[in-house]
Amino acid sequence: MYHKFLDKFPPQFLWGAASAAYQCEGAAAEDGKGPSVWDAFCRIPGKTRNGTTGDTAVDFYHRFEEDIALMKEMGLKAFRFSVSWSRVFPEGEGNINRKGLEFYDHLIDRLLENGIEPMVTLYHWDLPLALQEKYGGWLSRKTADAFVAYAGFLFARWRGKVRWWITFNEQNVFTGLGYRFAAHPPGEKDFRHMMQANHIVNLANARTVRLAHQMDPTFRIGPSFGYGPSYPLNADPGNVLAALNADAFNNDWWLDVYVKGRYPRFVLKHLERLGLAPDIREEDYAILEGARPDFLGMNYYHGGTVQANVFENPQLSKQKTLDTTDPYQMQADMEESPEKVMFETARNPYLESTEWGWEIDPKGFRVALRKMYDRYELPIIVTENGIGTMDVLENGKIHDTQRIEYLRQHLLEMRKAITDGVEVIGYCAWSFTDLLSWLNGYRKRYGFVYVDRDEQDGGTLNRYRKDSFHWYADVIRSNGNSILPERTIDELTEQEWKQVCQK
């Protein structure tokens, strides 16, 4: 849809930036904090780039006041951060660590004093190690009980101060990478376990959303989902069907449960046939249906392109030597990769990628916003969007033009989506300062603020404003008008308006 004039951003639009505890706080064993699964996982040789850890990270624990002063200078309206569960409950449940709790009390108070809305993520992947060891982590319903108790405690503590809550960050990513691909803790390769852990997180999510609404009707709560829309490689109907399958498998599988309280039918039926569906108890349905988020958080980096699966795609089956005559082998393949009969990934010839192979696709952002809103009709907060680059500090300056261009294009597409009719109420760039990239160390930088540190904990940890810092400050000051060539009808001069009318 082409719009000659774009709608303005709503007046209360939450211009923000995001972070996560493990990636920025450091102070990994300070003031009584208990270890998390990430503190242990990063010590397994070969798991993270050059063995990088979040032990010091960018020292947000000690420097948050300096960072908040920079946020204030920038004019930031909202700051999304996560609470490290084991900093507050070192064992995940039971004893409270007062000092850890007070750190977040101070952080929230300083944000509010500076006119910045705190947006609290309850879980950004750093499960208390004690719960992993005691219960087997998310494979146990006891971990869900502990999570709901932890969330309820924070709700009571920060009622009246915190309005925006995020339950789980990218449930699709941490269950997939953790239980299926062994790239995140707990480092398993078992599709069944992924499904089971995921189901238990779903229960924890629904119970937490319900509890939040019971405790304070002014709370606004929802999950942050890692959303990537699926494109068909071309108009071949087989590929179009593959894209439907990919959306169902990669997106609806989570989002339907959050909003509708049930798993999407096609994927569930497929997994049941294979004996891979999660173990759903009768009482679980009422729990899932008994909660509805107030908004959906979208983390958007890129989507994906797919084509018909190898079994139905003659071109692909020629390239891959497939033995479809052996039912046992097929069942084994399917247990590992049930999507094999649904779709096959493909390279998108229209898109360029970053140095880390992430496609750059601003239009896909509009597609994502449209699709998510279309299916769920809930307000959307973009809880992450940004680009990782190897920024260079030269004479105190960082000219991150690629970031500015990336964000400019994405914000333009977001404004088009708003003009289309999508209700977007906030946007958090990833990230405010540079911070740790889970698997890629410290040289993949995302921030508006450069932090002087290297992979080996060398560097002053001093902060430097990048060019994008000043650019985003302008975006916020103008409520999104500064970057966008298109203007709204309200902004036209009388003369220009007459010309439009005469045409």
CB of 118 to ligand BGP, least distance (A): 18
Q: What is the DSSP string of 371-406?
A: HHHHHH---EEEEE----B----BTTB---HHHHHH
Among 117, 170, 359, 413, binds ligand BGP (CB under 6 A): 170
Q: Number of residues in contact with ligand BGP, rule: CB under 6 A? A: 15
Contacts (CB under 6 A) with ligand BGP, residues 423-482 = 430, 437-440, 444
Stretch that binds ligand BGP, among 167-175, 227-235, 372-380, 484-492 (CB under 6 A): 167-175
Measured CA to CA, the distance from residue 79 to residue 71 in angstroms comes to: 8
Cβ-in-10-Å burial (0-12, 13-18, 19+) of 332 comes to exposed
Among 69, 173, 183, 241, binds ligand BGP (CB under 6 A): 173
Q: Respond yes or no: is residue 384 known to be catalytic.
A: yes
* Closer Cβ to ligand BGP, 6 or 177, answer by number: 177
Beta bridge partners of 345: 306
CB of 444 to ligand BGP, least distance (A): 5
CB of 174 to ligand BGP, least distance (A): 9
Measured CA to CA, the distance from residue 175 to residue 191 in angstroms comes to: 10
Q: Classify strands 304-307 and 344-346 as parallel, antiparallel or unpaired.
A: antiparallel
Measured CA to CA, the distance from residue 202 to residue 196 in angstroms comes to: 10
| 132 belongs to the binding site for ligand BGP (CB under 6 A) | no
CB of 441 to ligand BGP, least distance (A): 9
Measured CA to CA, the distance from residue 178 to residue 500 in angstroms comes to: 56
CB of 223 to ligand BGP, least distance (A): 12
| 303 belongs to the binding site for ligand BGP (CB under 6 A) | no
H or E stretch at 283: helix 282-289
Q: What angle do CA 258, 260, 385 make, to 5 degrees?
A: 40
| 388 belongs to the binding site for ligand BGP (CB under 6 A) | yes
Q: Which residue is nearest to ligand BGP (CB)?
A: 437
Which residue type occupies 247? D
| 53 belongs to the binding site for ligand BGP (CB under 6 A) | no
| 302 belongs to the binding site for ligand BGP (CB under 6 A) | no
Tokens representing 143? Answer: 């971990």
| 38 belongs to the binding site for ligand BGP (CB under 6 A) | no
| 222 belongs to the binding site for ligand BGP (CB under 6 A) | no
Which residue type occupies 250? N
Residue reference for tokens 């020629």: 318
**Which residues are the active-site residues?**
170, 384
- In the complex, the residues that contact ligand BGP under the rule CB under 6 A are 20, 23, 169-170, 173, 226, 299, 384, 388, 430, 437-440, 444
